[in-house]
Structure 1
C-alpha cells in the first residue's frame, strides 16, 4: 500500500437531538479535514457524488477549494456519475482543478450508483438510453470526455469571429491540462468493467461492493478484479503502470468514544441484491490497531492495490475524523507499507 486517503459520502441533514448538519457545514468541514490530513502526510481526499440526495452533487468547487488550501493532498472523486454530465463541461472543470492543484486531481468517473429517483439523468436532459440503468449514456459521455481531456479538436473556428485570433483547424477545449489524462479513473463494479477500463487505458477504482458473486471472499474476488484489469492494460499495450484503489470501512478503536461508535461493528462479507444485481459486499474492520494490522495484512485486495480509501463518518465532524485518520496513519498504515507524504 503506497497511498491512503479518505472517501467521504458527504451526508448532511438531521443528526438527531435537534442538531442538523447543513450543506455548507458539510463542505466547509471537508475543507478543514483535508487541511489536517495534508499536514499529517495523508495522500488523498476523495468524495462520492450523488444527485437528488443530501450529499455532494457538484464536487469541482469543493475540490478546487481543497486544492487551494493544501500542498500535497490528492483531491478526487469516487465517482462522478457520467450519466448526469455534460462531457465537455466536465473536461473544462477537471482541467481547471488539475491546473489549480498542480496536477493533484484523481478524477474517478463511472456509471454511478443506484439513485434515490427514477432515471434522474433524464431530468438533466440526457434521454434516449436503451439500457434500464443508463450505462450506454455513461459510456458515450465518457468517450466524449476523454476526447476533450486528450486535447482533440472539438469544434471548427469561426473565421468571421473577432475573437478567433486567426485560429485554424479543429479547436480543443480550454483550459487544457497535459497530464490530466493519466489521472482519470474508472469505477468498476465487476471484472468485465475492470477489463474494459484496462483496455481503455484509465486507472481503476474498486469500491466496497462488486456486482458479482463467485463464492469466494470479497477481498479475493476484488484481487482477481484488479489482476483482470492489469492484464487487460498489458494486453492493450499501454505504457507505464496503472494505479488501482480499493475502498474499505476501517475504524481503529483507540478511545472510549471510538468503542461507543464502532465497538461490535466488525462483520463479515455479505451477498445480496443491489440495483437488481447479485452483489458481494466487503466487511467492516473495527478493532484495536494491532488487530487491524493482522487482519488487513491478510486482505488480498489491499495487498494488491496501491491506494486504500477509508470510508469516513463525516457527520461526526472534523476533530473526530482527524483523530480517526491520525490513528490509522500512526498505528496501522506503516505496517501495510505506507510512508507519509511531506515536504
Structure 2
C-alpha cells in the first residue's frame, strides 16, 4: 500500500437530539479535515457524488477550496456520475481544479450508482438512452470528455470574431496537459475494469462487485484488478496505472470509538443492486494490531496502490481526524505506507 486517503459520502441533515448538520457544515468541515490530513501526510481526500440527495453533488468548488488550503494532498472524486454531466463543462472545471492544485486532482468518474430518483439524469436534460440505467449516455459523455481534456479541437473558430481571427478547430480552455493521466474509472465488475484498462485510465474499484459466486469479496476484487492491468498492458499503454480500493476500517483505541464501531465487524454481504446479485465488502473494526493482521490478508488491498477509508463524516472533524491519525500511526506503516511529508 503506497497511499491512503479518505472517501467521504458527505451526508448532512438531522443528526438526532435536535442537532442538524447543514450542507454548509458538511463542506466547511470537509475543508478543515483535509487540512488536518494534509498536515499528517495523508495522501488523498476523495468525495462521493450523488444528486437529489443530502450529499455532495457539486464537487468542483469543494475540491478547489481544499486545493487552495493544502499543499500536497490529492483531491478527488469517487465517483462523478457521467450520466448527469455536460462533458465539455466538466472538462473546463476539471482542468481549472487541476491547475489550481498543481496536478493534485484524481478525477474518478463512471456510470454512477443508483440515485434516490428514477432516471434523474433526464431531469438534467440528458434523454434518449437505450439502456434502462443510462450506461450508453455515460460512455458517450466520457468519450467526449476525454477528447476535450486531451486538447482536441472541438469547435470551429469564427474568423470574423472581434476576439481574434484565424481558422481551425479550437480546444476548450483552460487546458491542463497532465490531466488525462489523472482520470480514473469507477468499475463495479470485471468487464468495466478491463474496458478502463483498454481505454488507458486508472481504476477505482468499487465498494461492491456485481458478482456473487461464493468467493470472498477481496478475492473477486483482486481478480478484477488483475484483469484491468492485463488489459492495460495488452492495449500497449505506457507506464503503470494506478488502482484504488475502498474499505470501511475503524481503528478502536478509545471508549467512544468502541461505542460507535465495536459491534461493526462483519463479513461480506450479498445483496441486489440494479437488479444484479452483488457482493459487498466487509467492515473492519478493532484494535490496531488486530486490523494490521486482518488487512494483510486482504488480497485486493495488497494488489492496489491506494486505499480509501470510508469515513463517518457526520461525526465531525475532531473525531475523524483522530481516527485517521490512529490509522496513520499504528496501521498504515505496517502495510508499507509512508507519509507524503514528514
Compute the TM-score of the two structures, normalised by the length of structure 1: 0.99
CA contact (8 A) 1:44 1:75 kept: yes
Runs of 4+ residues over 6 Å off in structure 1: none
> Does the 8 A contact of 2:225 with 2:303 survive in 1?
yes
Shift, 1:275, TM fit: 1.7
Q: Larger deviation: 119-128 or 272-281?
A: 272-281
CA distance in 1, matches of 2:66, 2:276: 36
When residues 167 and 3 of structure 1 are mapped into structure 2, their CA distance, relative to the original with a 3 A threshold, is: farther
Are the aligned partners of 1:67 and 1:101 in contact in 2 as well (CA < 8 Å)? yes
Contact 2:8 2:312 in 1 (8 A): yes
SS of the aligned residue for 1:267 comes to: coil
Matches within 5 A, 1:1-343: 1-163=1-163, 165-342=164-341
Deviations 1:288-332 (A, max 9, x none): 000000000000000000000000000000000000100000000
Shift of 1:337: 0.4
Distance 2:34 2:54 in 1: 20
Report SS of the residue matched to 1:332. helix
Q: What stretches of structure 1 of length at least 5 have no aligned partner?
A: none
Deviations 1:237-284 (A, max 9, x none): 000000000000000000000000000110000111012111000000
Asked whether the equivalents of residues 207 and 248 of structure 1 are also in contact (C-alpha less than 8 Å), the reply is no
Query: C-alpha distance in 2, partners of 1:324/1:154?
Result: 47
Any idea what SS the aligned residue of 2:156 has? coil
In structure 2, distance between residues paired with 1:86 and 1:277: 28
The answer to whether the 8 A contact 1:87-1:142 is kept is yes
Higher mean displacement: 167-176 or 223-232? 167-176
Kindly state the Cα deviation for residue 154 of structure 1 after the two structures are TM-superposed: 0.5
- TM superposition shift of 1:166: 3.0
Q: Deviations over 1:51-73 (max 9, x none)?
A: 00000000000000000000000
Q: CA deviation at 1:212?
A: 1.1
Gaps of 5+ in 2: none
Show CA shifts across 1:216-257 (max 9, x none): 100000000000000000000000000000000000000000
- Do 1:213 and 1:271's aligned partners in 2 also have CA atoms closer than 8 Å? yes
2:158–2:165 contact (8 Å) kept in structure 1: no
Q: Is the 8 A contact 1:219 1:300 kept in 2?
A: yes
**RMSD over aligned Cα atoms:** 0.6
User: How far apart in 2 are the matches of 1:310 and 1:285?
Assistant: 11
Q: What does the per-residue CA deviation read over 1:42-88, in whole Å, with 9 as the maximum and x for residues that have no partner?
A: 00000000000000000000000000000000000000000000000
